[in-house]
Structure 1
Amino acid sequence: MSITTIKNLIPFIFALIIIGFIVKLGADNRQLRISNASLTAESKQLNVKNNDLATTLQNLTDAVTDMNKLVDKEAKRRAAAEMKSQRLQEEVKDALKNNKCSIELIPDSVVDQLRRQADSIRSGKDTNSSDTGKSSG
């Protein structure tokens, strides 16, 4: 090949190189569009899942808030009941403080008998078939 032929082919070679780059850019662009479409679809799916998760978490938060309100109400109710119970105990103590029956000692044999009867009632057994404390009339 002669130098003039090479000089004449240089513009065509550059044109071929440029056309090759353009074709490569077109192929890369097409591939990037496909990837972009795929990523856009995945992003939409993730947004839907994220919204579902946010809704679920909000529902869970609402449920926990409701439960906390119920627990708080129950705690206040129990505290009030405890206070009432303590007041009643104090009233009973005050009422029985000078009562003869409340300060008189009970014999041990009577206490033992009462315990046996209470135990038998708890266990469902009747230890005394003939109760002498009841009247037959």
Structure 2
Amino acid sequence: MNYLMLILTVLVASLMACTRSQHNPQLPKADNSEDVAAMNTIQPAQYRKGDLVPAAEVCMVNDAFMAKKQLLVEHNGKMYYGCCQMCKDRIPREQAVRIATDPFSGKTVDKAEAIIAITGDRGEVSYFENEANYRSYFKHTN
């Protein structure tokens, strides 16, 4: 049940991020029958906090594990993923959504080349420069 709530929370957060514009943020309307159906069909994730996750199941714009394959966006020969058309459009245009800071080393990493792990209680992910940083981060946070 907790996993279902986690996935629903991530889905709602992603829908909010993907439906707002940069200049005029608006909350998405959840009364659309397609949105309600999508929320009801999410399966519990097999991953939990601390686990490495496949890049293809992460929205790299929202930095969230989505527990299902995302939209592939190829940019400069690298593979990025987004959860919706807005995310797919932003990836090639905005460098800021293609990079992250390794929480252990503090170095900037390219999300397409990073080791990705769930670091938040609601499916939030962090990007690591390498597996050694990932292991060290969780060793020091537990």
TM-score (norm 2): 0.19
Structure with the greater alpha carbon radius of gyration: 1
More helix by share: 1
Q: TM-score, normalised by structure 1?
A: 0.19
Flag the structure with higher strand content: 2
With CA pairs under 8 Å and 6+ residues apart, which has the higher RCO, 1 or 2? Answer: 2
